[in-house]
Amino acid sequence: MNPTGPESAAPAAQDAPDAVCARLRSKKYYMLGRPALTAADILDGSQHCWCQRTKLAIGPDAGVVDPIECCPGRSCYEPLGVLPS
């Protein structure tokens, strides 16, 4: 296994829950062409993401934004398919 290959690009994605918040964004998100369904869909080599609502790495509840934290149970979490039009 190559330690610098894609397998090691997003180690946090392995620990992330299956469902991520519909408001979670990253540069990689915009390259998908579809909604991000998993942490691997969000995280790239930089591991940087932000909340679409706040435009920051801090969410509306003042918590850290990342696929591990932005999951069901968080007060500002929004599941896919429930965003207002």
pLDDT tens digits, one per residue of 61-76: 999 999 889 989 999 9
Delimit the domains of the chain by residue range. Answer: 13-75
Identify the three-state secondary structure at position 14: helix
Residue range 22-74, pLDDT digits in tens? 999 999 988 988 888 888 888 888 899 999 999 999 999 999 999 889 989 99
DSSP letter at 73 equals T
pTM over 0.75: no
